Structure 1
Amino acid sequence: MVGAYDDRDGKIWMDGKLVEWRDAQVHILTHGLHYASSVFEGERCYGGKIFKGVEHSKRLKRSANLLDFEIPYTVEEIEAAKYAMLEANGWTDAYVRAIAWRGAGPDMGVSASRNPVRLAVAGWEWGNYYGDAKMKGAKLALSKWKRPSPETIPSEAKAAGLYMICTMSKHEAEAKGCSDAMMLDYRGYVAEATGANVFFVKDGEVHTPLPDCFLNGLTRQTVVGMLKERGITVHERHIMPEELEGFEQCWLTGTAAEVTPVGQIGDFTFEVGALTRDIAESYEALVRS
């Protein structure tokens, strides 16, 4: 699929029905556009099956509740919408984006409790999120922006507004010739990349930031389980940025990123080692099993 995302052939599921791609539009006074009252999920379909689709739909509903609104569809109805969209477009391998938001209605201020909640499911065929970095290791910059305290945001929600600093961080990183940026949290601990969780290897053990102020990704949880099944010790803990110098390997996890090796973060370098390759290959096999 090529072309701008608003000018393509295909179908998008929107508010209970399939509509032509170019007709899937919202009004300029949509509340979600002005006040970020929007939540979403990114999922991948492999061979006709969405990996952890139900878990994603449950998280979508939970994210909406954390933003104080209710999606007017059940998990089962959201799942049916995803597969209806895929079937209508003839896709068995695709990225799936479900999004819910407060639409246009009688309220147009910070408060929007009377506005309707809308839901759409789109998709597209998407290759490696980081391109050839999946083979040789991604290069990351260090972001000046930090993940905020959970006292200031609903950090457990996959909410659109929380990605504003991610977009700025990634743009800055790309301007430096990097694939992405690594962010610290409000306390100065290593947190995550702009749209992926991060893992490190040292002396055969794995270290990954404790997700106490950022999203505990479903891919992250899957990979932690894979490591433990192999008998590998996993330390979920606070990691200081100066510790990066002692780590030997590094990788990112996410629905879009899948398992992507990291070759460099700032001035710190990592090898694309055996454990990184094993987890990447095993994850690829798992999602297609």
Structure 2
Amino acid sequence: MESDPSASDSDRPQVPRAVRLAYHNGQWIPGDKLCIPMRDPAVTQAVTAVERVRVYNGRLFQIDRHLDRWQHTTDALAITGLPSRQELAEQIDEVIRRNDAWLQTQNEFGVLWFASPGIAGSPTLVIDLYPIDSALMQRRINSGSPLIVTSVRQPSAECWPRNIKVRCRLHYYLADREATRQNPGSLGILLDSDGSITETSIANVLIVHAGEVVSPPDDQVLQGVSRDVVRELCDALDIPWRERRIYPDELRAADEVLLTGTSCGLWFANSIDGSPLRSAGPVYQRLRAGFDALVADH
């Protein structure tokens, strides 16, 4: 069984065969040439709302939920002057249309957009596409990813809400760096102030205990779109779902450990803190089959 060789979510270097165009404040720019001023709050203070959406079968997956979270995040950061929800959806569609030639070179892709307060009261908005490393995603789905419980703590919810999606990610970087030092290719799990687990840089973390799926509570982690989809799949498949704090010893002793995130949707942990490799469990297999069926219908 292979371990996941990368803590990245998408970025295998590719030889471009067509120019990828990105939207930047009304202009169309080659994606690899995008830049923002050094004075932008996205650079000076990491004030950046961000969303990423996976595309399946030519359609944006769970786009309404992503737009809901986007609105919540931009409201929390008081980023004003942005397009309306409908206008943003239309701009995303336009980015996809303008990149038809580039998309012919890709097996799978996603859409990323971010905004900052900008300069002089004029917000910054960027919409871009990114390639999905299909081989990496399939490896995660089939073989899982190793996890390391790190010493890195989540910033307190008194600093900023955990249910907004932002690009201030130093804590995730430090957790993955610590994890990689212990086991290359591992994802680092961050802890809360009481020592309970929260999430990784790219995934929500769930455990399976006695047939029940257990998640950290909503107020402790980012309310991931894929996590919400899996919660609904649990309801549809009569798999009990419960939310409570989870501690590292429970994680290590769990029957299964599941991971949810945009680019892969749902996969599993094949090792915790260097434990022997484990294969996909029965609850994961049921949920993964349900997720695949949902994507196929989508």
TM-score (norm 2): 0.85
Aligned to 1:104: 119
Of residues 190, 195, 201, the one that matches 2:197 is 190
Aligned to 1:274: 282
For the residue of structure 2 that corresponds to 1:141, the secondary structure is strand
Conservation of the 8 A alpha-carbon contact between 2:214 and 2:244: yes
1:181 aligns with 2:188: yes
Question: Whole-Å Cα distance in 2 between the matches of residues 165 and 23 of structure 1?
Answer: 27
1:3 to 1:267, Cα distance in 2 relative to 1, 3 A = closer
Of residues 167, 170, 176, the one that matches 1:170 is 176
**What displacement does 1:4 show?**
8.0
Of residues 45, 50, 59, the one that matches 1:49 is 59
Conservation of the 8 A alpha-carbon contact between 2:143 and 2:279: no
1:285 aligns with 2:293: yes
1:206 aligns with 2:213: yes
Question: Whole-Å Cα distance in 2 between the matches of residues 4 and 164 of structure 1?
Answer: 26
Structure 2's unaligned 5+ residue stretches are: 1-10
1:240 aligns with 2:247: yes
Residue identity opposite 1:272 in structure 2: A
Aligned to 1:58: 68
Superposition map of 1:228-267 within 5 A: 228-267=235-274
Question: Whole-Å Cα distance in 1 between the matches of residues 32 and 155 of structure 2?
Answer: 36
Question: Whole-Å Cα distance in 2 between the matches of residues 132 and 169 of structure 1?
Answer: 22
1:246 to 1:173, Cα distance in 2 relative to 1, 3 A = closer
Superposition map of 1:7-18 within 5 A: 9-18=19-28
Aligned to 1:109: none
**What displacement does 1:98 show?**
0.9
Aligned to 1:144: 151
Residue identity opposite 1:117 in structure 2: P
Residue identity opposite 2:291 in structure 1: Y
Conservation of the 8 A alpha-carbon contact between 2:81 and 2:122: no
Larger RCO: 1 or 2 (CA < 8 Å, sep 6+)? 2
% identity of equivalent residues: 21
**What displacement does 1:97 show?**
0.4
Conservation of the 8 A alpha-carbon contact between 2:22 and 2:95: yes
Q: Deviations over 1:196-239 (max 9, x none)?
A: 11111122111111121321111101100100111111111111
**What do you get for the CA RMSD once the two structures are aligned?**
2.4
Aligned to 1:95: 110
Superposition map of 1:18-57 within 5 A: 18-57=28-67
1:245 to 1:31, Cα distance in 2 relative to 1, 3 A = closer
